[in-house]
Amino acid sequence: MERIDASDRGTVALAHISGLGGYVVPFGGVLAPILMMIAAEDGSQAERAAKQALAFNVFVFIMGLLLVISAFTIVLIPVAIGCGIILGLLAFGLPIYGLVKAMSGEFCRYPFVGSFAE
């Protein structure tokens, strides 16, 4: 498990929670991590966390589109609703989980995009 330096914990936590910016500002879930990547030093843990948040938000957006498309078929409506609920909980809960992990000094990788975003 990778540890976060005490001086970087705040910026890494901010990078994780910046993914929730889309709930406040349109496209904020993408713009906030991009701004964090620009502001962070190259190769820093904050930049890596912002890449994780950006990749995760893009993943959630694509999965959401697929769920909307699948909801147009009558047979897949219950599946789309169930998966949509799970996706919504993950989209809201994982950035908060990353924030908590960062504040405790542990670097968190998001599932589904963890190694892809490195």
Which DSSP string do the residues of 74-113 spell out, in sequence order? TTTHHHHHHHHHHHHHHHHHHHHHHHHHHHTTB----TTT
Average of pLDDT values for 56-81?
88
- The average confidence (pLDDT) of the chain is 86
Give the confidence band of 89 by pLDDT, cuts at 50, 70, 90: very high
Give the confidence band of 111 by pLDDT, cuts at 50, 70, 90: confident
**How far apart are the C-alpha atoms of 118 and 108, rounded to whole Å?**
12
pLDDT at residue number 86: 94
Task: Supply φ then ψ for residue 7, to 5 degrees.
Answer: -75, -20
Judged against a pLDDT cut of 70, whether residue 76 lies above it is answered with yes
Give the confidence band of 62 by pLDDT, cuts at 50, 70, 90: very high
Give the confidence band of 116 by pLDDT, cuts at 50, 70, 90: low
Instruction: Give the closest residue to 98 by CA, choosing from 26, 36, 27.
Output: 36
